[in-house]
Amino acid sequence: MVTNRKLTDLKNIGTKIAGHLKKAGIFSEEELRFHGPVEAHKMIKNMHPKMCLPVCYYLYSFEGALNDKHWNEIGDEQKLKLKKAIGK
C-alpha cells in the first residue's frame, strides 16, 4: 500500500536526513518511492560530493523507510545489491 506520509513519519528518517532529502527535491514518501533508495542516495551525494554518506544512515534508511522496516532489518543480500547499485 502506497501512502504519502511526510518524510519524518517514515521509519529511519529523522529531521537531518529529511533535510538532505528536501534539499535534493524529495519532499514526501511518494517522491522518495518514485526516485527509490539508490537514486535518492545519489542525488544527495551529488549535492555534497565531499561528504561521507554512511550507507546505513542513507541508502539502507531509505530502503527501510519504503518497506516500513528499521534499516538493520534489511537482509544482507539486499544490502549488497544496494551497495553495488551505488558502486560500493
Average pLDDT, the chain: 92
pLDDT recorded at residue 31:
96
In terms of Cβ atoms closer than 10 Å to its own Cβ (0-12, 13-18, 19+), residue 82 is buried
Architecture of domain 7-85: Orthogonal Bundle (1.10)
pLDDT surpassing 80 at residue 56: no
Domain ranges within the chain, ordered by starting residue: 7-85
Instruction: Kindly report whether the global pTM for this prediction surpasses the value 0.85.
Output: yes
Average pLDDT on 24-48 reads 95
Alpha carbons 2 and 33: distance in angstroms, whole number: 9
Helix (H) or strand (E) holding 51: none
Confidence of residue 1 (pLDDT cuts 50, 70, 90): low
Please give the distance of CA 60 from its chain centroid, rounded to a whole number.
6
